[in-house]
Structure 1
Amino acid sequence: MARSDNLTGAFLMMGAMAAFTVNDAMIKGLAGQIPVFQVMFLRGVLTTLLVGVIAWRMGALARRLPRADWGPVFWRMVGEIGSAYFFVTALFNMPIANISAIMQALPLTITLAAALFFREPVGWRRMSAIMAGFVGVMLIVRPGTDGFNVYSVYGLAAVAFVTLRDLATRRLSRDVPSMLVTLITSFCIMAAFGLASLTGEWATLDMRSVALIAGASVMIIGGYLCSIMVMRVGEISFVAPFRYTSLLWALILGWLIFGDWPQTITLIGAAIVVASGLFTLYREAQVSRRARAEEKRQLSLGPRPR
């Protein structure tokens, strides 16, 4: 693997994280002005239109979703809708760096959930890292203290729903076009929040609100496209750790735009979560390399004589 491929993958991953975090900052800029359901519906309309155009250009609309993939797509949709609601509600009511720090626990929860539900092997080293990471999460949310509120629980619920989404994604067939699944999910999110928005009053949009919603739609599509390209460039074990740059973006944007800076104990918790996640990714890469090496060794030995 050429080093330039790895560097390209790293830049794409950092670009994806930057785009997603700028999207979050734009959405947070609407807090207190536009209701959550209205924001998510309007962003969903624009996002669905953009994804639809991309899917059409890529030929994904000509493909059918196999019946065996209906179940995973349904649960992925549930995960997306749930995570969007809980994440954006928490984002509206707490510093962007705090909710971003909570979301860094995802590699840990996905590894643990895969072990529990899919029986994927997890050694004591990775399990220890997961436990340490959860200690870091507790330092961030700090239950029982003055800094704890219901929106910290919303952040944890968002992690749970994203974990469900990613586990469902693992069950999809390899030949299902990513853009087709994304389009279906985006449409369902738009429809769900559109119906939910009818339960309350709509706020009047000014030019600033329109610009932020449009910008958020472009950013989230840009982040997704970068994420797709990452999978095609570079080694995953090299590229994956750069997902944690989203926390750096959240710290910078939170300080520059909203004047927020996390407490020291929150930063310590975030550092523990990131360190645990990095170690988990490192161990997963090691295990994968050993499995591939063993598979190659078995193939080189050839079939045993009868």
Structure 2
Amino acid sequence: MTSAVTHPARLGILCMVAGMFCISINDMLIKSLSGGYPLHELVLLRSAVGIGFSFVLLQIEGGVKLLRTGRYGLHLLRALLVVFANSALYAAIVAMPLAMANALYFVAPLFVTLLSIPVLGEQVGARRMTAVAVGFGGVLLMMAPQIAKGDGGLGWLVILPVLAAAGYASMSVLTRKLGQTSRASALAIQMQFAFVCVSIVMFFAVGDGRFVDDNTNDSMRFLLRAWIWPETADLLPIAGLGCLSAVVGYLMTQAYRLSRASAVAPFEYILLIFSLFWGWMVFGEWPENSVFLGAAVVIGSGVYVFVREGRKPPTRRA
């Protein structure tokens, strides 16, 4: 009898769980440093370190020749999508508890399920589509109280993690598609290079801080704050961000290369546990009850989609 989950698929799931743990540490460090540095300065410094580690992985997997590809348009789109997703999520993290930002971000696997239909040619039945719709209802449960509070709540900032999730899901299905012909290390380097290029553009566009004033909210201040020379005490955590960036890029790319997008994505939910821990231990945060209720609905929907996915044979693609 053949195992329901193949060895490569199990390895993909393991990569996903390890990636989530690394992401939780990355988020905690980003939020810790957000009070003194602009986002894109941190991203540039992180990627400058991370791209070196990515090249080491590239050499292990086969060398520079792996960077050659004939699908430049899709690779560029994938890289820009991950830059957009990260920027939106990190802008959210500074304005709300880590667990809340990531709970809203959990809609990403549901986006992946939807996008796997047109992009990957996978079939999604009525029951799973219903589960996806219920999951989006869970997102509304988390968002509605903050929007209803007006100036006393987060307002429309709560949509930032959802926008990040949409961008990340689009990147994920493209990773699955491009991963059939490209190695994980090559895709990771493309991602790091995109971060570096966009960060340099942001430095010349807004790096002097001229768009920030006393009325600027925390999220926009993090995006537009003036660049400064890093403090000596901050060099180690910034270097740690670079190492984590390389490891996360590799692990996540491997996860989607080795497993079907709609099968591996629900394991991202373990990030909530890690985020709750770091938010409570480092920042003294604890989300409102509506966040737990909405997250339960989203996670339940995602788990149902995963279970249904495991009951059908793989879809053959040309």
TM-score of the pair, normalised by structure 1: 0.84
Greater mean alpha carbon deviation, residues 237-246 or residues 154-163? 237-246
How far the C-alpha of 1:206 sits from its partner, in A, is 1.5
Q: Measured at CA, do residues 217 and 259 of structure 1 come closer, stay the same or move farther in structure 2, by a change above 3 Å?
A: same
Equivalent of residue 102 in structure 1, options 101, 104, 124: 104
Give the AA of the match of 2:19. Answer: A
Deviation at 1:30, TM superposition (A): 0.8
Counterpart amino acid of residue 43 in structure 1: R
Matches within 5 A, 1:1-306: 1=3, 12-67=15-70, 69-115=71-117, 120-142=122-144, 144-146=147-149, 147-172=153-178, 174-198=180-204, 199-200=206-207, 201-227=226-252, 241-288=266-313
Find the residue that maps to 2:311 and give its secondary structure: helix
Q: CA 1:72–1:42 in structure 2 vs 1: closer, same or farther (change >3 Å)?
A: same
Deviations 1:165-206 (A, max 9, x none): 123223326222221122122112111112202322312321
What is the CA–CA distance in structure 2 between the aligned matches of 1:188 and 1:236, rounded to whole Å? 23
TM superposition shift of 1:29: 0.6
CA spacing shift, 1:240–1:206, aligned 2, 3 Å: same
Following superposition, the deviation at residue 72 of structure 1 comes to 1.3
RMSD: 2.9
- Cα deviation code 1:233-280 (max 9, x no counterpart): 899998664432111000111011111111001110011111111111
Matched residues in 2 for 1:246 and 1:205: separation? 29
Alignment partners' CA distance in 2, 1:120 and 1:233: 16
Judged with a 3 Å threshold, the aligned counterparts in structure 2 of structure 1 residues 141 and 93 are, in CA distance, closer, same or farther, namely same
1:63 alignment partner, SS class: helix
Q: Aligned pair in 2 of structure 1 residues 235, 189: CA closer, same or farther (>3 Å)?
A: closer
**Alpha-carbon contact 1:132-1:273 (below 8 Å) kept:** yes
The change in CA–CA distance for 1:14 and 1:65 in structure 2 (over 3 A counts) is same
Distance in 2 separating the partners of 1:27 and 1:192: 18
Q: Retained in 2: the 8 A contact 1:18–1:223? A: no
Query: 2 CA distance for matches of 1:202 and 1:43?
Result: 14
Sequence identity, in percent? 26
Q: How far is 1:90 from its partner? A: 1.1
User: Relative to structure 2, which stretch is displaced further, 251-260 or 280-289?
Assistant: 280-289
> Relative to 1, partners in 2 of residues 1:173 and 1:231: Cα closer, same or farther, differing over 3 Å?
closer
Count residues with an aligned counterpart: 290
| Distance change (3 Å), C-alpha of 1:110 and 1:81 | same
Report if aligned partners of 1:87, 1:155 keep a CA contact under 8 Å in 2. yes
**Greater CA radius of gyration, 1 or 2?**
1
